[in-house]
Amino acid sequence: MKEKNGVIGKSVKRVDAFEKVTGRAKYTDDLCDRNAYVAKVLHSTIAHGYVKSIDTAEAEKIPGVVRIVTCFDVPKNYFPTAGHPWSTEPAHQDVADRLLLTDHVRYYGDDVAAVVAENEVAAAQAVRALKVEYEELPFVLDVHKAMEDGAPQLHEKYPNNILAHTSIRNGDYENAIKEPGLKKVEGWYQTPTVQHCHIENPVCYAYMEQGRVVVVSSTQIPHICRRVVGQALGIPWGQVRIIKPYIGGGFGNKQDVLYEPLCAYLSTVVGGRTVKLEIPREETFSSTRVRHAIHFHIVSYVREDGTYAARKFESFSDQGAYASHGHSIAAKGMGCFPQLYPCPNIEADTYTVFTNKAASGAMRGYGIPQAMFAMESHTDDVARALGVSPYEFRMKNVMPKGFTDGFSKNVNYYDTFRECMEKGRKEFGYDKRLEKYAHQTGEIRRGVGMAVFWYNTGVWPISLETSACRMVLNQDGSIQVQVGETEIGQGADTAFAQMAADTVGIPFEMVHVVSTQDTDITPFGTGAYASRQTYMAGFSIRQTGELLKAKIIETACELTRQMKENLDVVDGNIVRTTDGDILMSLGELATEKLYSLTNNGHLTAESSYQIKNNAYSFGCTFVEVEVDIPGCRAQVTDILNVHDCGQLINPALAEAQVHGGMSMGIGYALSEKLLYDERTGRPLNNNLLDYKLSTFMDHPDLQASFIENYEPTSAYGTKALGEPPTCSPAPAIRNAILQATGVALNEIPMRPHLLFDEFKKAELI
C-alpha cells in the first residue's frame, strides 16, 4: 500500500520518546509495590549432578525470611520455555524439559531453590545460608565430546546428547565432486557463546487477584508467557494474566519464558502476596539464555570458472543444558546454505547437542550471525583460493533474482543482493580501499572486507503466523490501537501508529498505540521475535484499519447523505472525493455517532489475520579495519551496512536499529565471549566488566544505507529489519583482517588472545 501523502516513509518521532527522555516511562520494577516480597534463586555450584538434600534450618532463622522453596517442593510439571507459538500437534511442540526448580542439576547456575523474604538483604542472606548436598556427576562442555559414546548424559531421551539432527540432500554430492579440475576449499569455523546484555535485567513480579495469578514481566512475548506459566503451574491458561510494560531491551533473551513461572508459583505459596523476582546481572549471564556457539565445517568444490560444483556443510550447535529454542537455531542457519549461493549438489547436516552450560535460546539473528560468519568467511577463502576478487565472486554466485525456495515459497523478487552490494561498494569506496591496502607491510596495517547476509521474516511455514488488532474510535476522531506485538525498544509502536494513521486516514498524532500488553485485554499476538512485527502486525493493522474505515464511511453516509463510493477519510476528515470538499471532521462524526439519540454506536474494529507468507530480507556489510600486529589487536575504523527491508516505515528509526545491530555484530566479531571454567563449568566472566560488549569508545561511527524494494507480499511493502543488521559485520571484519594481514581467522571473537596465537603461527610476531 503506497501512500501518497501519508506518514509511512516519514521519520516521525517515536511515540514513546517523550516518556523515555523524561524518565516517566515505567518499566516493570518501577511499577512494583515497594513493599513487595523479594525472591532470590539459589543456583547450583556444580555443573552436573543431583541435589541430595537442602538444609534450610539456618536460612529459616534469618529475620525477614518468609518462605523457602526447594527443588523437592515444586510440582513436577515439565514445561517448555521457548517463545514459540504453541502447536496443537504434539510432534511440533517444544521440548518440555524444565521444572520450576530442579534436583537434577545440568549446569553451573541451575535453579535449585528459592527464598521469599521481606527484603533483599534477608533474601540474599538466606540464599547464602542454604546448605546443599550434591551428588556430583561428570560434566561435558564441548559439543563434540558430548556426542561421544560414554559422554555424560544430560537428558535420558537424547542419546549422545543429540537433541536433534537434520539434513539436506540436493543432487548428488559424492558424484559431483568427481568432476575433473575442481578445487577443494575446506574450513572449520567457530562462533562463541555470547549474551544479549539488554540493560534491563529480566524482572517480574506476581500477585493473585480474584483467584488468578497476575505476572507483570519484562517479556517480549506476553501471550506465550501466559501459556507457559499455565503449563508450569498446571493451571488453566485463563487463570494466568501477563502484563508487559515498557521493557529495557530483550534481543531474544526475553523471547523465552525465564523466571515468570517460578515467580508466579512463589506468589501462590505466600497467599497470593506480591513477590518480585529481579535477576541480577551475574545471573542474567549465568542462568538465563545465551546465543548458541556453533562449530561449522564447510567444504566447497569449485570450478576454475568460479562456479560451485558441490558443497558440503556440517554444523554442531551447543544447546547448553536445556532445549529452549533448541534445534530451530541450527536449522535456520543450515536452511540458508543452499539458498545463499545456489549449487545443485549439496550435502548438509546439522546437530544440536546438549552440554552442561547455560541453555542457549533466541538471540538477535537466530542462528544467522553464526552461519554467516562461517559461510561468508568461507566465501572469501574460496575467492582467495581461486585468486579472484571476493566481491566479484559473490556477484557471480549469490542468489539470483527470481530464486524461489521450495519450502518457504519465498521468492527473491528483486536482484537484492547485487543491488545492495553495488550500493555498498560505491558508498564505501570499496575498490579504492581494496587497492590501497593490497600490499602493506609494517606493524600497523589496514584492510577492507565485505560479507552479505541472508535473512527472512517471521516463522511461517515452520510455525504459526498470526496477528490481531483492535482499533477504537474516540469522540475526537482519534483512535486507540492495540496489537499483541510488543514494543521492546525497536520502535514497533511508532511504526504501527504510522500504519494505522495511513490506513484509517487520520493524522499520526491522532493514533494512540497502547504500548502495554495485557493478556486479559490485548488481542492475541505472539510477540517480538523473528523480525516479524512490522511485517506480521502490518496485516492485521491494515485489515482492521480498513474495517474501521468502512464503518466510518458507513456512518458518514448516514450523516452526510452521500454515497459511500464518493467518500473517503483524509487527514482526519470526511472528504467527498468528487469535489474534494471536507464534509465533516472525523471528530464531529465520532461524537455524533456516539451520542446520537436516534442511531448511536461506538465505532470499533477488531480482527485477526493469519499470515501464510514469509519474505526475504537481504543486505551486506563493508568494513575497514586497522590491525596492530605487535599489539595483537584489530579495530574497526569504518563500517557500512546496506539493507533491503522493503519500504521503510520510518527511515530514522530503521537507521537507528541498524546501528544497534551493527554494534552488536562488532562486539560479536571482536570482543564478546562468555567463558566457562573447564574444571568446574563455572562461568568466568558473567558481569559487564569482564564480558566485553562494545562501549562508546570501541567502534567508529556506524553508517546505514538502504535499498527500498517494495515487498510485494507485505501489507505495507515492508519486511524484516530487527535482526538482519547483526548478521554480516563479523565475517566482513574477518575478511578485512585477512586482507590486511593475510591471516584467515576462523574463530570469533577475534580478540587479542586469538590474534596473538595466529600471528605467531603466521610468524608475523
Partner 1 sequence: MYDMKALYEAESVQDAVRLLEEHPEAQIIAGGSDVLVQMREGKRAGVELVSIYGLDELRGVKLEEDGTLRIGSLTSFSHITKDPLIQKYINVLGEAVDMVGGPQIRNIGTIGGNTCNGVTSADSASTLHAWDAVIELTGPQGVRLTPIKDFYIKAGKVDLRPAEIQTGILIRKESYEGYAGHYIKYAMRNAMDIATLGCSVNVKLSADKKVFEDVRIAYGVAGPVPMRAVHAEEAGRGLEVTDGNIEKIGDTVLEDVTPRDSWRASKAFREHISKVLCKRALREAVLRAGGAV
Partner 2 sequence: MEEKKNPVMKHAVMTDPGSGKQYKLVRCRINGVERETMVDVRASLTDMLRNDYSLSSVKKGCEVGECGACNVIIDGECYNSCIYLAVWADGKDIRTLEGLMGPNGELSDIQQAFIDEAAVQCGFCTPGVIMSAVEILESGKEYTRDELRKLLSGHLCRCTGYENILNAVEKTMKKRLSEKEAAAGQTAE
Task: Summarize as ranges the residues that interact with partner 1 (CB under 8 A).
Answer: 119-121, 124-125, 128, 630-632, 671, 675, 677, 684-685, 688-690, 692, 694-698, 751-753, 756, 765
Cis peptide before 63 (omega within 30 of 0): no
- Of 660, 681, 717, 749, the one binding partner 2 (CB under 8 A) is 660
CB atoms within 10 A of CB 17: 12
Sheet holding 702-706, edge to edge: 444-453, 618-628, 633-644, 702-706
Nearer to partner 1, 120 or 422 (CB): 120
Contact between 16 and partner 2 per CB under 8 A: yes
197 contact, one of partner 1, partner 2, none, CB 5-8 Å limit per kind = partner 2
Minimum Å gap between C-beta 265 and partner 2 is 24
Say which residue the cell 517515536 belongs to: 14
Strand partners, 302: 183, 308
Nearer to partner 1, 133 or 678 (CB): 678
Crossing angle of the two packed helices 729-741 and 368-386, in degrees rounded to 10: 30
199 contact, one of partner 1, partner 2, none, CB 5-8 Å limit per kind = partner 2
Spatial contact of 242 and 229, defined as CB atoms under 8 Å apart? yes
381 contact, one of partner 2, partner 1, none, CB 5-8 Å limit per kind = none
DSSP assignments along 277-298, one per residue:
EEPPHHHHHHHS-BBPEEEEEE
Amino acid, single-letter form, for residue 49: G
- Of 1, 124, 570, 688, the one binding partner 2 (CB under 8 A) is 688
Contact between 200 and partner 2 per CB under 8 A: yes
756 contact, one of partner 1, partner 2, none, CB 5-8 Å limit per kind = partner 1
**The dihedral formed by the CA atoms of 530, 534, 539 and 545, expressed in degrees to the nearest 10:** 150
The C-alpha atoms of residue 411 and residue 253 are separated, in whole angstroms, by: 30
Residues from 469 through 498 that contact partner 2 (CB under 8 A): 488-491
Contact between 26 and partner 2 per CB under 8 A: yes
Instruction: Give me the phi and psi of 463, to 5 degrees please.
Output: -145, 175
The C-alpha atoms of residue 516 and residue 305 are separated, in whole angstroms, by: 57
Burial of 128 (0-12, 13-18, 19+ CB in 10 A): middle
- Of 653, 733, 736, 755, the one binding partner 2 (CB under 8 A) is 653
Contact between 675 and partner 2 per CB under 8 A: no
- Of 86, 189, 205, 246, the one binding partner 2 (CB under 8 A) is 246
The C-alpha atoms of residue 114 and residue 62 are separated, in whole angstroms, by: 14
Number of residues that bind partner 2 (CB under 8 A): 59
What value does the CA radius of gyration of the chain take, rounded to a whole number of Å?
Answer: 27
632 contact, one of partner 1, partner 2, none, CB 5-8 Å limit per kind = partner 1
Report how far apart the first and last C-alpha atoms of the chain are (Å, whole number).
59
Grid coordinates of 272 = 497470593
Residues from 259 through 278 that contact partner 2 (CB under 8 A): 278
Contact between 219 and partner 2 per CB under 8 A: no
631 contact, one of partner 2, partner 1, none, CB 5-8 Å limit per kind = partner 1
Sheet holding 37-43, edge to edge: 65-70, 111-117, 37-43, 275-278, 203-209, 212-217, 240-244, 517-518
DSSP-assigned letter for residue 311: E
- What proportions of the chain, in percent to the nearest 5, are helix, strand and coil? 30, 25, 45
Spatial contact of 234 and 75, defined as CB atoms under 8 Å apart? yes
Contact between 126 and partner 2 per CB under 8 A: no
Nearer to partner 2, 23 or 180 (CB): 23
Nearer to partner 2, 505 or 724 (CB): 724
DSSP-assigned letter for residue 120: H
- Of 80, 230, 245, 249, the one binding partner 2 (CB under 8 A) is 249
Binding pattern for the stretch 418-457 against partner 2, x by CB under 8 A and - elsewhere: ----------------------------------------
Minimum Å gap between C-beta 706 and partner 2 is 15
Contact between 281 and partner 2 per CB under 8 A: yes
Contact between 652 and partner 2 per CB under 8 A: yes
The footprint of partner 2 (CB under 8 A) covers 11, 13-14, 16-27, 29-30, 34, 121, 196-201, 246-249, 251, 278, 280-281, 488-491, 652-653, 655-657, 659-664, 687-689, 693-697, 699, 701-702
